[in-house]
Amino acid sequence: MNSLRNTIAFFCLLATWSGVAANAQQANAKQARFASVGTSNADLILDAIDEKVVAQFKNAWRSVGAGVDKIEAVVLLYRKLDGSLEATLEPMTYQFDRSEFRWNAAIFGVVHTHANCDDSRPAGADLRFG
């Protein structure tokens, strides 16, 4: 369960970093207005995680042998019109230290597992993707 929590923490960091990177390109006035809202992408995501989303995270974790297998599983998150999240476990690609999936503009977030023997914090490609 600790690694599941790390995966969720990674996603929140990725979502927050993505929002910061996008906002960094805006004019100072727009950045100030956005900052005044006080809600980050990570807050929006954490508020929307429900039992169905957690179930998909658990399915992803089980599909990689609870972190024992040196492969990654990917869960894609989509924001529904009512503000809730829909999570889908992508088909396994059985790749080490990477995953592939078809991009869709409706994707709100990407969560993936790391093997237990690897650092759970985002690095390298994780950060470049965000």
- The pLDDT value given to residue 9: 47
CA distance 48 to 41: 11
pLDDT per position as a tens digit, 20-50? 333 333 334 444 444 444 566 778 788 889 9
This prediction's pTM: 0.66
Across 32-129, where does the E strand assignment appear?
Answer: 74-79, 85-89, 107-112
**110 within 8 A of 61, measured Cβ to Cβ:** no
Edge-to-edge, what's the strand order for the sheet holding 74-79? Answer: 85-89, 74-79, 107-112
pLDDT per position as a tens digit, 42-87? 787 888 899 999 999 999 999 999 999 989 999 999 999 888 899 9
pLDDT band of 2, cuts 50, 70, 90? low
Q: What count of residues does the chain have?
A: 130
How many structural domains is the chain composed of? 1
Backbone angles phi, psi at 99, to 5 degrees: -145, 155
Backbone angles phi, psi at 108, to 5 degrees: -95, -25
CA distance 45 to 109: 9
Q: Domain span at residue 54?
A: 2-129
The radius of gyration of the chain from alpha carbons, rounded to an integer in Å, stands at 15
**pLDDT at 128 > cutoff 50:** yes
pLDDT band of 95, cuts 50, 70, 90? confident
